[in-house]
A and B are shown apart, each in its own frame.
Chain A
Amino acid sequence: MSTSTDKKLVIRCLQKILPTESVLHKEEDLRPYECDGLSAYQQVPMVVVLPETIKQIEDILSFCTNQTIPVVARGAGTGLSGGALPLENGILMSLARLSRIQNIDIDNRTARVQPGVRNLAISEAASSYGLYYAPDPSSQIACSIGGNVAENAGGVHCLKYGLTVHNILKLEVITMQGEHLTIGSDALDSPGYDLLALMTGSEGLLGVITEITVKLLPKPEAANVILAAFDDVATAGQAVSNIIADGILPAGLELMDNAALRAADDFVNAGYPRDAAAILLCEIDGTSAEVADRLEHAQNVLRTSGATEIRVAHDEQQRAKFWAGRKAAFPAVGRLSPDYYCMDGTIPRYQIANVLTRISELSNEYRLPIVNVFHAGDGNLHPLILYDANIDGELERTEELGGKILEICVEAGGTITGEHGVGMEKINQMCVQFNSMELQQFHAIKHAFDPDELLNPGKAIPTLHRCAEFGAMHVHHGQLPHPELERF
């Protein structure tokens, strides 16, 4: 049977499960799904399905298992690591149509939602009760809560309020084998293994998440932000450590370097000090009294840490303006260059100054500008490498530079990804971070859920074979970062 008849058969079967218009198969209908937020990787899938019910999801998965067709789940497609990149011979299952907020439980302070619900929509729905959902990725107007769970998404506020894993209670999951699992509960803990933690950040490899119960928090009574300017990026990095060491836990602590703050200021007129080498935005929230006390405390630390200028937002409008610059930083940087590539390495805070220096050396070496705007409080870097995909070889050089930055992060005691996930993009760097036994352990866990490797295969966890090739390639260039690590 030729592939085209194969495909026709698959379509016909799927049309028995779903309404005809929910099975996309024409080239022009498939195009919008060819990539997620990382557009450097593209692949049109065989078919896209748009289920609206749990039953349909179940039937699609069971059909795919019977026919050994791989499946990739997709939320809003804002992922930055190619996690939702389709497979040529596979089915892409978009969960965007499961977008109902099922229930907001005020007494228990929880919301039960379908996976396609947008992150921000939860806080909007809870707002009139004085509640909100804490994790706030910069993509929150678009990204789905299902995708957030699959990536363990973070945001500006996770230093104080935690990541997705800290803010969910319960998941409904369907495995490729058709099992329905209720993981976690409406109580704060559950018997048995912590499968809630295992599912969170598993990048759509273990099961399809069909419902999520999230915790809601009371909106803090007060919040304000300090903008501190520095004449040197390293000093700003040190100030971050000093704030934390002094017992302050800011709600957000973000760093922008000169290029980033200028771009943001040009874009949204945030009123930033344009000559500063770096600025820190330090948000304090809590009760009014707490905020007053801690603002004072934080300003003192920033001053003794060498800030050249300190501004406290004098009203809600100015606070919003300071944050608007940070929130618009990515699109603002997008205007500086035809393309940019966002990295996500995370390092211990005391290494910030050191790693930023090494990144700037690499930037010079590769003659590719790098802009830094990141979650400094968490040590979660987001170096943005500026490049032009239309210039021959520039994407390849960018990827190589990106890979090196991640290896520096691992060397500095950190990790290759803080919140964006491994996906397709960082799969080679997984061979740097983990040895073969650890990778095999990951595969064994995958098999406990998906023995036939049909759910998002080839993502997140590299095969040992792939690592062997990557290792060989690196030795060839003579720059193996961890020669002591066992390789295949």
Chain B
Amino acid sequence: MPDNNDKTEILCDQVLRACSSKTPLAIRSGNSKLFYGRDVQGEPLPLDEHNGILSYKASELVITARSGSRISDIESALDEHGQQLAFEPPCHSDQSTIGGAIACGLSGPARPFHGAARDFVLGAKIINGKGELMQFGGQVMKNVAGYDVSRLMVGAQGTLGVLLEISLKVLPKAEAETTLAFEIDAVEGHKMLRGWLIDGHPVTASCHYQGVLSVRLSSTENSISNAHRKMGGEVVANDLWQQLRHQSHPCFEQANLWRLSLPPAAVIHNEDDQLIEWGGALRWKVSNNDLFEQAQRLGGHATRYNINSSPAQENSSDEIFQPLQAGMLAIHKRIKHALDPNNILNPARLYKEL
């Protein structure tokens, strides 16, 4: 039976032709994350019709799907077996695809506790910039044969290869979930949180915003009520975490928003407009100036994060992502060249030079 949702051949052909004519390709899927990177001028390479779940066995904790599969479809399949994408990828619209999620490499509130998108990638089928169809990794939990090219694709935003199929590790959902809220300032709140983490409470998300620290606990009922007894706090609704995950929280509507990824204990100031997640390791902040230097001083990096704006033009001097040190940029260019020698895959999406 022909599989109408398998566009592998068409896509390979298009990349091959683009490679020989040196035509840049703009890889597109759900189009929900255009803001997260620079504008790509090129012939569109649509992936949304290349979709479908290829295999899923609950006992394996692995799902394999074509890149154009919608995250919502994948999550409904997992939900039937009480499983989840534990890195909680943000979906900026219901069109968001798994390929887009992996290419961008973004992860939601559970990230410090369950792991990031890259942590759950087990394997990938890709087309490189020469139009070659290749498979790396696999569908098993552990695999050290060859370099980890499938994880290299995560966050590369298509600049190293067109993602066709992705195998992801999935996890069982916890039996129960509760959110506790505490009225406390950011500095004191994070001290308290650090103590709870060392004590091993089943924390799976944290958020500090406008004087309230919210903490999500996921575990068995007994374990959660024990933790609640020890931690105190008021039980509140769980919907905050969905708003944070999908970045629909009011905080994300602000113009000139910056995403700061920092060591969790990097100095915190009590600022009302700042939203802090990930136990201190992720901070959202409004600023008219760019925060690259400040983030670097604190041991991390910054990203310009304007969900409602259009992507930065190709020639714009406004970097979206933290500029790379010279040595790192050089190795990035050589890796790009190793996978996409003619520079046709989403050129300049991440950095002008790549």
Binds B, one of A42-50, A56-64, A395-403, A408-416: A408-416
Given A109-B197, A188-B112, A448-B331, answer yes or no on A201-B139 (Cβ-Cβ < 8 Å): no
Given A166-B115, A188-B111, A417-B145, answer yes or no on A193-B265 (Cβ-Cβ < 8 Å): no
Q: B264: CB under 8 A from chain A?
A: yes
**Complex contacts, B339 vs chain A, CB 8 Å:** 441, 444-445
Given A187-B300, A190-B301, A192-B350, answer yes or no on A349-B145 (Cβ-Cβ < 8 Å): no
Q: A289: CB under 8 A from chain B?
A: yes
Q: B332: CB under 8 A from chain A?
A: yes
Q: B60: CB under 8 A from chain A?
A: yes
Interface residues of B in 46-93 (CB under 8 A from A): 57-62, 81-83
**Complex contacts, A152 vs chain B, CB 8 Å:** 144, 148
Interface residues contributed by chain A, number (CB under 8 Å): 95
**Complex contacts, B324 vs chain A, CB 8 Å:** 191-192
- A249 contacts B148, CB within 8 Å? no
**Complex contacts, B244 vs chain A, CB 8 Å:** none
CA gap between A413 and B200 in the complex, in Å: 37
**Complex contacts, B61 vs chain A, CB 8 Å:** 244
Cβ contact of A448, chosen from B134, B338, B350, cutoff 8 A: B338
Given A162-B115, A191-B324, A441-B128, answer yes or no on A416-B145 (Cβ-Cβ < 8 Å): yes
Interface residues of B in 295-315 (CB under 8 A from A): 299-301, 303
- B202 contacts A287, CB within 8 Å? yes
**Complex contacts, B172 vs chain A, CB 8 Å:** 247-249
Interface residues of A in 116-175 (CB under 8 A from B): 129-131, 151-152, 154, 158-159, 162-163, 165-166, 175
- B148 contacts A198, CB within 8 Å? yes
CA gap between A189 and B107 in the complex, in Å: 10
* CB-nearest residue of chain B to A451: B334
Proximity string of chain A (232-247) to chain B, C-beta cutoff 8 Å, 1 when within and 0 when not: 0000000001101101
- A287 contacts B200, CB within 8 Å? yes
* Size class of the contact patch on chain B: 35 or more
Binds A, one of B17-25, B180-188, B208-216, B222-230: B222-230
Binds B, one of A177-185, A319-327, A384-392, A463-471: A177-185
Proximity string of chain B (110-122) to chain A, C-beta cutoff 8 Å, 1 when within and 0 when not: 0110011011000
CA gap between A181 and B328 in the complex, in Å: 7
Binds B, one of A216-224, A271-279, A361-369: A216-224
**Complex contacts, A421 vs chain B, CB 8 Å:** 144
- B146 contacts A413, CB within 8 Å? no
Cβ contact of A349, chosen from B60, B115, B278, cutoff 8 A: B60
Given A188-B112, A192-B321, answer yes or no on A290-B220 (Cβ-Cβ < 8 Å): yes
CA gap between A426 and B145 in the complex, in Å: 9
Cβ contact of B132, chosen from A129, A189, A437, cutoff 8 A: A437
CB distance from A218 to the nearest CB of B (A): 5
* CB-nearest residue of chain B to A426: B145
- A191 contacts B322, CB within 8 Å? yes
Q: B249: CB under 8 A from chain A?
A: no
- B141 contacts A380, CB within 8 Å? yes
* CB-nearest residue of chain A to B161: A441
**Complex contacts, B134 vs chain A, CB 8 Å:** 435, 437-438, 441
Q: B291: CB under 8 A from chain A?
A: no
Contact surface of B with A, Cβ cutoff 8 Å: 57-62, 81-83, 105, 111-112, 115-116, 118-119, 128, 132-136, 138-149, 151-152, 154-156, 160, 171-173, 175, 194, 197-202, 219-220, 222-223, 225-227, 261-265, 278, 281-282, 299-301, 303, 321-322, 324-325, 327-328, 330-332, 334-335, 337-339, 350-351
For the complex of A and B, list the 4 residue pairs with the smallest distance between their C-beta atoms, beginning with the closest.
A197-B151, A107-B265, A187-B300, A245-B59
Besides the known contacts A379-B140, A421-B144, 19 further A-B residue pairs in the complex with CB atoms under 8 A apart: A109-B264, A162-B119, A185-B263, A187-B263, A187-B299, A187-B300, A193-B152, A218-B198, A241-B59, A245-B58, A289-B222, A290-B202, A290-B219, A293-B222, A415-B138, A415-B140, A430-B145, A438-B136, A442-B149
Q: List 18 A-B contacts (CB under 8 A).
A: A165-B119, A165-B148, A185-B263, A189-B105, A190-B261, A192-B328, A194-B151, A289-B226, A290-B219, A380-B141, A414-B140, A415-B144, A417-B145, A419-B144, A422-B144, A422-B145, A437-B134, A446-B147
